[in-house]
Amino acid sequence: MTRMDGKALAAKLQEQLAEKTVALKEQVGIEPGLVVILVGDDPASQVYVRNKERSALAAGFRSEVVRLKASTTQEELLAVIAHYNQAAEWHGILVQLPLPAHMDEEAVLLAIDPSKDVDGFHPMNMGKFWSGHPVMIPSTPAGIMELLREYGIDPAGKKAVMIGRSNIVGKPMAQLLLDANATVTIAHSRTENLEQVAREADILVVAIGSGHFVTKDFVKQGAVVIDVGMNRDENGKLIGDVAYDEVKELASYITPVPGGVGPMTITMLLEQTYQACKRFLDLG
């Protein structure tokens, strides 16, 4: 069994990104700018945003976090987004999800300029992605594909099972695996005989949002297991959707939680901000 170290790969890629950022600034005097908008005080979101800000600054980016109260109206949030849409020094805009219950998430995401939508959730970017002409790709699936490449895992011809069907991870992950010539099944909590379906997978990606949901009964010998889950157990410990200790005995490759997929998500977000900056500067 090989433990897929997303933290180490993220550090390597972010170091390379920092070098590219220095070169870009020397060439044109501009650094990529990423603004993260956080509404409310959700504890997990606070951690995510802090990590994004820290990584952006380490890569040499212009970074800003806009923290708004949970009582902020949707109109006020849309006004903030409109401001950054027009600000040339900001190349990436990210609205941290989830939003407070009184806000329309779809309307908020739709308000972001697609050229600055580094999360890849705007319908225009999703449409380009699904039609085979991606510009912005959701960061978590993009990070998983980088992990597979780093460890020499070629999905071509393999059976891949994606447990989870969200627009953020499940559906785009399935599409990327399909683009890499895997034969893909999307499964979820209502899939009949889910354990049996999962056991057919050469590559099993799990994003179902339930701690230690996937046990050894879901995994065939030698499978590659990618755990996207971020949950807390009864003691407050961070755990994944996969029961790591028992599944690792069967898997050929497996991602840990923490230190697997999470760091790669932030890395790909930064890479897409860098690429958005280059497109803004017409540098290809």
Cα distances (angstroms) measured from residue 239 to each of 6, 13, 92, 148, 209: 15, 25, 30, 21, 10
- Residues listed for the chain: 284
Mean pLDDT value of segment 111-123: 96
Mean pLDDT value of segment 268-272: 97
Out of 52, 158, 216, 248, pick the active-site residue: 52
Per-residue pLDDT band for 124 (boundaries 50, 70, 90) equals: very high
The answer to whether 119 is a known catalytic residue is yes
Domains of the chain: 28-113 (3.40.50.10860), 139-261 (3.40.50.720)
pLDDT > 80? residue 209:
yes
pLDDT > 90? residue 48:
no
Q: Is 3 marked as a binding-site residue?
A: no
Exposure string for 24-34, b = 16+ CB within 10 A, e = fewer: beeeeebbbbb
Q: Is 190 marked as a binding-site residue?
A: no
Q: Is 165 marked as a binding-site residue?
A: yes
Out of 5, 14, 96, 117, pick the active-site residue: 96
The answer to whether 52 is a known catalytic residue is yes
Per-residue pLDDT band for 284 (boundaries 50, 70, 90) equals: low
Query: Please, are residues 113 and 124 in contact by the beta-carbon 8 Å criterion?
Result: no
The answer to whether 196 is a known catalytic residue is no
Out of 117, 119, 202, 227, pick the active-site residue: 119
- For the chain, the average pLDDT equals 96
Rounded distance between C-alpha atoms, residue 129 and residue 120, angstroms? 9
Task: Enter the pTM of the model.
Answer: 0.94
Per-residue pLDDT band for 44 (boundaries 50, 70, 90) equals: confident
Mean pLDDT value of segment 30-41: 96
The strand pair at 159-163 and 183-187 is best described as parallel
Sorted by sequence, the CB contacts under 8 Å of residue 252 that are 6+ apart come out as 1, 2, 222, 223, 224
